[in-house]
Structure 1
Amino acid sequence: MPRKPALKAVSVAPAKPGAPGASRLSADEIAELFRRFAAANPAPTTELHYTNPFTLLVAVVLSAQATDAGVNKATPALFAAADTPARMAALGEDRVRDLIKTIGLFRNKAKNVVALSEQLVARHGGEVPRQREALEALPGVGRKTANVVLNTAFGEPTIAVDTHLFRVSNRLGLAPGKTPLAVEAELERVVPDAFKPNAHHWLILHGRYVCKAQKPDCPHCLVRDLCRFPDKTG
């Protein structure tokens, strides 16, 4: 899939600030935050390259503790050789390992990719299931991966909380939480339904390109006036 641009700044009227010392955004502020994200990037999607639900699933499994850019360098050759569960299982662990050896943890990931492919053939007729429980039962697939697949491949309004979403949700005061699961539950509660299908993508792009871990680019943040982060830059 083609790479989508990160969120770009748009002209917005300043929002009314929250109460002094407030740590959470109000419902109105949350709605405004997502209206701005939607105006800046109406159709966000993953930066992982894929051609079907299966290749998306594999790409997401490979992206654990690795960058999307690094995964995208390895997957063209892998998916040219095997873009279905049956073909991936037939390819075998040794060949998969050789094709993804530039990705971190490639040995264990190759094992999981072949094993999940075998399970998809044996238990799901070679199709990627649309049920969370079935996805999470596959080798190498956890809640975050299942959420990405459900959202991106099948259009479900799930929100996958990775390190970017965890950081952004806490910094903004959007969905504070001590664990990814707590943040996910809070996002499910506070994000307006109309924005839920794209919320994961907007937030991950914001965290990847603007609200970065070491030095957030606050001067170019389109929601700076809403943000509760006390240590803004610029």
Structure 2
Amino acid sequence: MSLRHALLGLLYEGPASGYDLMKLFEISLDNVWAATQSQLYGELGRLAAAGLIEVVAEGPRGRKEYALTEPGLAELRHWLTEVEPEQVRRSDMLLRVFFLGTVDPAQAGAYLARQGAIAAEQHERLSEIRPLTEGPEQISIYGRLALEWGLRASVMQQEWAEWAAREIETFAAAAATRDTRTTQDAQDAQDAQDAQDGQDGQDGQSAQDEQDEQGGHTADAEHPDLGRETPEAGRATADR
């Protein structure tokens, strides 16, 4: 969609001034296409130069009233029936969601809460203009279809934002539980290793003591007179 075709479509309902068209944009096209005053007046000048619209009346302070021409109507119908709508695949909001894992869960939840609030404000704003689309005019009938899309989309976005926030809370809680369990498992493993090391030390000392004791018994068995004075040695000592 382009601004020029939006203006051609609005002028199909009848002649209007730039001021009137700006008001129609704010009221009926708020949820599908935004335009600033400078953009709108600039496009009106280009459409008039191209012969797609014409000035049919002029008023005080430079006020001009524009009407759709036959070439303008042909361009509008060509755009509606033969030009495929641009499939927009860009969403700054969803791109940020994709990378929310780079911030902590509380910040991610706050971001989603803001998106839900924005959707709620959008729904409230669209609800206020709903009565303007309830007339029998053609622009009201088809405008109601576009308005309903905006209303339903804003409700869906609110529900999605609330669901996404709950998902993050659940994920964060599960991650915290896993971290606690991992820390406890590591501590239990360390305690078990320390206990095993202590037991191995005790077993090693007991084995060494037993080996030393066995070594002493072996020495006594091999040298039974070692350290014991013989009778002959005793008499020699006495004679001296």
When normalised by structure 2's length, the TM-score is: 0.23
* Structure with a larger share of its residues in strand: 2
Which gives a bigger RCO, structure 1 or 2 (Cα 8 Å, sep 6+)?
Answer: 1
User: In terms of Rg, which structure is larger?
Assistant: 2
